[in-house]
Amino acid sequence: MVAANWKTCPRPPKGTAGAGAGQPTPPLRDDGTGGPCSPEAEQPQSPCPPERVLTPSSVAPAAHAAHTALPSTDPPLHPAEAFLRGVLEGLLPESEASLTVAVAPDALDLPVATLFFCSQALHRLLASLEPAAALCRHPGDAGAPLPTLTARLRAHSIGRYTLTLADDGQFFRCRLPGASLDMEALTPLVGFVLKRQGSIRLARGRSTAFEIIG
Residue 173 · residue 163 · CB < 8 Å? no
Contacts of 195-199 spanning 24+ positions with Cβ under 8 A: 196/117, 198/117
Residue 151 · residue 163 · CB < 8 Å? yes
pLDDT tens for each residue of the chain, 214 residues long? 444 444 444 555 555 444 444 555 555 555 555 555 444 445 555 555 554 444 444 444 444 444 444 454 556 777 889 999 999 999 887 778 899 999 999 988 889 999 999 999 999 999 888 876 554 655 445 666 788 999 999 999 888 999 999 999 989 988 898 899 999 999 999 999 999 999 999 999 899 999 999 9
Question: Which among 34, 39, 41 is positioned nearest to 5, based on CA atoms?
Answer: 41
Residue 212 · residue 163 · CB < 8 Å? yes
Taking only the tens place, the pLDDT of each residue in 121-130 is 999 999 888 8
Q: How far apart are CA 189 and CA 200, in angstroms?
A: 9
Cα 197 vs. chain centroid, distance in angstroms?
Answer: 41
Residue 44 has what pLDDT? 52
Structurally, at CATH architecture level, domain 99-137+146-213 sits in: 2-Layer Sandwich (3.30)
One-letter amino acid for residue 119 of the chain: S
Residue 110 has what pLDDT? 86
Which one-letter DSSP state was computed for residue 197?
T
Residue 24 has what pLDDT? 54
Domain-wise residue ranges, the chain: 99-137+146-213
Residue 75 has what pLDDT? 63
Residue 212 has what pLDDT? 96
Which one-letter DSSP state was computed for residue 105?
G
Helix count and strand count (H, E) for the chain:
5, 5
- Residue 123's CB is within 10 A of a number of other CB atoms, namely 16
